[in-house]
Amino acid sequence: MRRIDDVVKSQEPVMVAETGIYITWVTGAILISIAMMPLFKPQFARISLDGFIDMFRRYWAHMIVVFSVYLWKDLLDGLDRILMANTQLDMTFLVYAIEGDASLWVQEGLRNDFLDVIMTHFYVMGFMTATFSSFIYPIYFDDRHMADRVSLSMFWVYILAIPFYLFLNVKVTGNYIQGMETIAYDLTPEIHNWFNRIDPFTNGMPSLHIGLPFAIWLTMHRWDEDGRWNRFRFFLIIFIALPLWR
């Protein structure tokens, strides 16, 4: 019993550190999204604390629909691990046949300590910021026309991604291409442990880090009839283009 207690106690600081980095990313994404609101708000809109109260009162159903997808993650991760263990599904060779060593060339050409830190946090917190702000802005500014479409787009993108995630498994690039490093996963022990705990180390193809922001941009491009979201659409284009190499 004492040995078990010692193991549990030794794991407690690790769990705290993992939780700490995740809370930092989530908090950062929320604060950045709120800070950017004056930049991307429709011209006629005002920002006030009452708007957040009205947002929850008017759009609680949208929130349930969108945030319900995050409840599936643990279930799908467990199912993915079972499928991988029993079927050894691996489609990495198909992607590699198209891309070759291009990712390795980019990593070797641009690698430096500053970009390692910036792009690792951008990979997680940037994605959180893009998706959170895309959902929050239309409902905060009471654009029901856009809120309905963005919410459904986010929901259906996750639904459509499930078969790709489960049956078109692609290994992490740094674990497949010889000489390439898994920079983000190994940046710090806390980040490494967090990824080990939440990530089955398989990637659906195409990646939701590109697919979800693109679907939101496409939705806004199609349904933004008066141009009120032009600046935010431009932000999404930059976000999609910048991390293509991450």
Confidence at residue 33, expressed as pLDDT on a 0 to 100 scale: 96
Confidence at residue 174, expressed as pLDDT on a 0 to 100 scale: 81
Pairing mode of beta strands 202-203, 170-171:
antiparallel
Every domain of the chain and the residues it spans: 2-245
Confidence at residue 6, expressed as pLDDT on a 0 to 100 scale: 46
Q: Which of 230, 244, 200, 224 is nearest to 149 (CA)?
A: 224
Phi/psi class of residue 99: alpha, beta or left (left: φ > 0; alpha: ψ in -120 to 50)? alpha
CA 17 and chain centroid, separation: 20
pLDDT digits (tens, 9 = 90+) for 107-126: 888 888 898 999 888 888 99
Quote the CA–CA distance of 167 and 90 in Å, as a whole number.
8
The residue type found at 71 is L
CA 138 and chain centroid, separation: 19
Quote the CA–CA distance of 203 and 208 in Å, as a whole number.
9
148's CB contacts (< 8 A; 6+ apart) are 62
* The pair of three-digit structure tokens given for residue 26, joined into one six-digit string: 């989530």
Quote the CA–CA distance of 52 and 73 in Å, as a whole number.
27
Q: What is the mean pLDDT of each run of 10 residues along the chain (246 residues)?
A: 46 59 91 96 91 93 86 76 77 87 88 89 90 96 96 90 80 85 86 74 66 94 94 93 62
Quote the CA–CA distance of 177 and 101 in Å, as a whole number.
7
- Decide: 39 and 133 in contact? Cβ < 8 Å: no
* The pair of three-digit structure tokens given for residue 144, joined into one six-digit string: 């029901």
Quote the CA–CA distance of 219 and 67 in Å, as a whole number.
19
Confidence at residue 31, expressed as pLDDT on a 0 to 100 scale: 96
Confidence at residue 84, expressed as pLDDT on a 0 to 100 scale: 73
Strand partners, 202: 171
